[in-house]
Amino acid sequence: MRVRRIATIAALMFLPPVATAPAWQLPAVDPATAESIDAAAAKGIEYLKVAGQREDGSFSENNAAGVTALVLAAILKHDADPDTPFVRKGLAYLEGLVHDDGGIYADESRYKNYETCLAIFALVEANDDGRYTEMIARAKQFLKDQQFDESEGHGSEDPYWGGAGYGSKGRPDLSNTSMLVEALIAAGEDADSEAIQRALTFVSRSQNLESEHNTLPYPNLNPDGGFYYTPANGGESMAGKLENGGLRSYASMTYAGLKSLIYAGVDKDDQRVKAAVAWLKKNYDLKSNPGMGTAGLYYYYQTFAKSLAAYGDAEFVDESGTKHDWRAELVAELVARQRDDGG
């Protein structure tokens, strides 16, 4: 039940045809796809309502802070009133997770960065009347404080610099950093701010592309333009390494990297964007997370959708020249996975 609930949340998070992020003039979705979105989202929201809000307002027994924030952000994206009783109850649960440092996370959490980012997504969606403005501002500052910089002994030449980790200061990674960038932008941060540009340095060093933005040794070993998990701690990819020690690129991180480049104000003609898009053209797929099989599939769908929405083209042309109406194809894939109960 928990896995299906999380998959439903993930699907709802990117079913909306309009992204709440910088986009290069993404055209409106076609009427048939919009109708499919509305129908699938309505069933999904009903499933989430029935499947399981707990007495305390959360939507999960495990990792409740993050899951609850995802549920609320997903539902609110579909024009739910934040004062609808079950939504209000969930928001009250998040309000109870605010800490003195401004972060929004469960006590003793190992995922403070993720949880605070996800909470920001939900609070921004519920903030039309300004009720969460101060809470969002404090959470935004908390996220900035999570970035690795000189205060932890990591200078600008250090692979850690500008990145964010889970919140325990163990080591930064592209997944956490891309989530941080998106949350800061959602909370009103400018793309050219110090925090976003610091993060951009880390993101650029997470790409298999040698350039003035990345002089680390990894791109030379696998110069394919895709992205890997982290350049920190000697470099790591969840997709493993090549025989020569190169870090394998994989799709969910490549979309996360592309999304972060765009949010940070990098132009379409920049070599980093071009190299990422070229890798994705070779690896366009909605049945798997290329490089990882079906591991992290719904996470992959989220980065796929948000990245291409920010990129701004209604069609994505793969390496063979085939044109993909990627929104219609993604919605069709999700609808095919939806059960009769909406999950």
Query: Over the stretch 205-245, which tens digit does the pLDDT of each residue have?
Result: 999 999 999 999 999 999 999 999 999 999 999 999 999 99
**What is the pLDDT at residue 338?**
96
With 70 as the cut, is the pLDDT of residue 139 above it? yes
- What does the chain come to in residues? 343
110 neighbors 65 (Cβ within 8 angstroms): no
**What is the pLDDT at residue 24?**
60
Q: What is the value of pTM for the model shown? A: 0.93
**What is the pLDDT at residue 16?**
44
DSSP string, 264-305: TT--TTSHHHHHHHHHHHHT--SSSBTTTBTTTHHHHHHHHH
- What type of residue sits at position 281? K
Alpha helical stretches, state H, the chain: 2-14, 31-52, 64-77, 85-95, 112-125, 133-146, 174-186, 194-204, 218-221, 251-263, 271-282, 297-311, 326-337
The Cα-based distances of 329 to 84, 250, 308 in angstroms read 32, 20, 13
Mean pLDDT value of segment 270-275: 98
With 60 as the cut, is the pLDDT of residue 21 above it? no
With 70 as the cut, is the pLDDT of residue 94 above it? yes
DSSP 323: E
Share of the chain above pLDDT 90, in %: 85
Antiparallel, parallel or unpaired: β 316-317 and 323-324: antiparallel
- pLDDT bin (cut points 50, 70, 90) of residue 26 is confident
- pLDDT bin (cut points 50, 70, 90) of residue 18 is very low
**What is the pLDDT at residue 20?**
47
45 neighbors 78 (Cβ within 8 angstroms): yes
- pLDDT bin (cut points 50, 70, 90) of residue 50 is confident
- pLDDT bin (cut points 50, 70, 90) of residue 171 is very high
**What is the pLDDT at residue 79?**
79
**What is the pLDDT at residue 62?**
86
**Longest C-alpha distance within the chain, in Å?**
57
Q: Tokens at residue 274, please?
A: 């071009």
Average pLDDT taken over every residue of the chain: 92
